[in-house]
Chain A
Amino acid sequence: MEKNEPRIACLMCDFVFCQKEAQVPRNVNVARVSCIGRIDPVLILEMFEKGTEAVMLVGCKPPDCHYVDGNAQAEITISILKTLMSLVNVEPERLKLLWHSPTAKKSFSRHLTEFSDKMRKLASLSLKNINPDTDFLVNISAAKKVAADFRLRVLLGREKELTESVNVYGEKIPFEDFDKLLDEIVQTEFIRQKIHVLTSVKPLSVKALAEKIELKPAAVLSHIVNLRRKNMIAIDHVDGTTPFYKALEVK
């Protein structure tokens, strides 16, 4: 592989898998998954963390999912992932979802090449984060925690049901409302997780955290209050009039 070639991962649904027949650029690793609707968003974030520059997900063209709603679920996952990626400062276009049909082998190769070309034009992830030890890794590990969060997963898992059918009270939630709510939760959780990651390295004050995450101190404090409520953070020490917080390990 050439040095400047972006490392790209391609995750393909079993039912459209066609690596052997297709022309695959050398910088692309193709792997099979049972259904892209079942892909763990944490896994994708981990790929970025470990140096993958771009990810392409290939699934069955709707409505052909073998698992009925897998492709719809994939769309929801992708949408959350894109929100998280922009929070992490990774261009959302580094993640691509391709609906594919097992019969169209040629077009698959073309898609791959195009994606690869496009990615080549983006700056390398490791380069664009001058200080990769802090910002990027902190962000991505916070994003991973958000993606792994039970509450978010509940909502992700229910989006389709709640927006297309009715909730437990027999009400239908408009898709836009749900999306907005989801977006808010992702943003909030991301900040909280970031505070947690940062304070697990060393105790930090509200002001220091506010500078690091570019947020108003008042907002940081209210996040700390809520982290504390979940026993995720505690006061480590008080220096003069400034309390310093340290992350608690989450059981």
Chain B
Amino acid sequence: MSEKNGFEPKIIGFLCNWCSYAGADLAGVSRIQYPPNIRIIRVMCSGRIDPAFVLEAFKDGADGVLVAGCHLPSDCHYISGNFKALRRITLLKKALAEFGIEPERLRLEWISASEGDKFAAVVRDMTEQIKKLGPNPLKEMEVKSQ
């Protein structure tokens, strides 16, 4: 696993428009620095995030996926989208192992529009954790099979 050293993970972040995306903006406004490993995809609501999106992301080579929405129970701009995300992502986490992906590569976080610092901390923490895990095993399999 020599490539673990200097390995820079690629993380896809699905962020809801109202809380978490705004939280990520606030991290910027507050100039809170975090590693440049995350690529943010804006969706209107965490309830929009289909487990299939997450699996596709892993298939396309993401080393980690962050799903972030408004705080439970009542911050959701769409009333209950965050609960939908909670159920879907929790189930998906359980199933991930069957695809040979460590469940730690997928994170569900509640980040509000006023939590720029939390957003940055999550990205920092996740980047560190995935660096330790090494690259997405699906990618390795692909390499081996070639």
* A touches B (Cβ under 8 A): no
Q: Residues of B with Cβ closer than 8 Å to A?
A: none
Residues of A within 8 A of B (CB): none
